[in-house]
Amino acid sequence: MDAPDTWTTAHDLAVVYIALAYGTDHDLSDEELHVVNEALEAWHAGGEDGSVHEIIVEAATVFVEGNAENAVRRAMQDLRAALAPEERRTTVRHLIRIAEADGVLLEREQGFIHALADAWSLKELSEELLQNTSAVVQRRGEDWGLIHELAFLYILVGHGDDDLSDATIKVMVDRLGEWRTEASEAQVREVVRRALQVYAEAASEELIHDSVEALKDALSPTHRLTVLDDLYSVARADSPMTPSERDLIHSLAKAWDVTVRMNGHGG
């Protein structure tokens, strides 16, 4: 979607702010919206046409009607050219405030801020601000990879209401080993241990959503079906599949745009 003639620098700022507040977790909290308003009002004091509310509404349309990824990229580029160095620094500070507004700083929010700051040659500023954040940081560490995302979902399905049984852990290790054939059993078990630690400490809806989206982005439809087959095996490792396990696997299949029958095979 091409920007209309009435598109202003404030609209580009709104696109970037909304991309952080909504695009990283698909949830725009009241606290985040309040800070977005404040940030735009501070810029709007410069006298650009249109109310802040109108600017937010118009900017939000790119996330509904257009190619949001391209719009955000274009806004970042245009803002680099339009803003003075100190204005760019202020924008990064506003982004930090928006990310902190709901009290939790997600990994994807950190990644978004780092990417923008790097494009604007403000990487040191973003690192300093994120290091001193007042929010709870959901950080899984640099050692967290795709294999850990898989293990996290296996644990989510296999844990249920009880502790993981030895039989369930064995199925997890066997299935994960097929994704990383060069790893020893001890290394795969360490992946499970690491994922279980994250599950025990911070198995929030946001974290689960991030894992589901990360795997969808990284895996082909065929590989997503393989994961669902793995989850089916994990669910049935030590007992018949429960209704909640069945519902969870169906919800994952829907989120990944694939269909699955409960015989362990996609269709």
Domain ranges of the chain: 9-137, 146-255
**pTM for the predicted model, two decimal places:** 0.54
Integer angstrom CA distances of residue 56 from 4, 8, 14, 18, 198: 15, 12, 6, 8, 36
Given 1.10.10, 1.10.3680, 1.25.40, 1.10.287, which CATH number is that of 9-137?
A: 1.10.3680
3 state SS of 162: coil
Convert the pLDDT of each residue in 52-66 to its tens digit.
Answer: 989 999 999 888 887
On whether the CB atoms of residues 119 and 76 are closer than 8 A, the answer is: yes
Identify the CA nearest to 23 among candidates 69, 61, 57: 69
On whether the CB atoms of residues 35 and 135 are closer than 8 A, the answer is: no
Same fold, 9-137 and 146-255: yes
User: Which token pair is 52?
Assistant: 């802040």
More confident residue, 73 or 209: 73
In sequence order, the 6+-apart residues with CB closer than 8 A to the CB of 131 are: none
CATH level 2 (architecture), domain 146-255: Orthogonal Bundle (1.10)
Convert the pLDDT of each residue in 208-261 to its tens digit.
Answer: 888 888 888 788 899 999 999 999 999 999 888 888 889 999 999 999 999 876
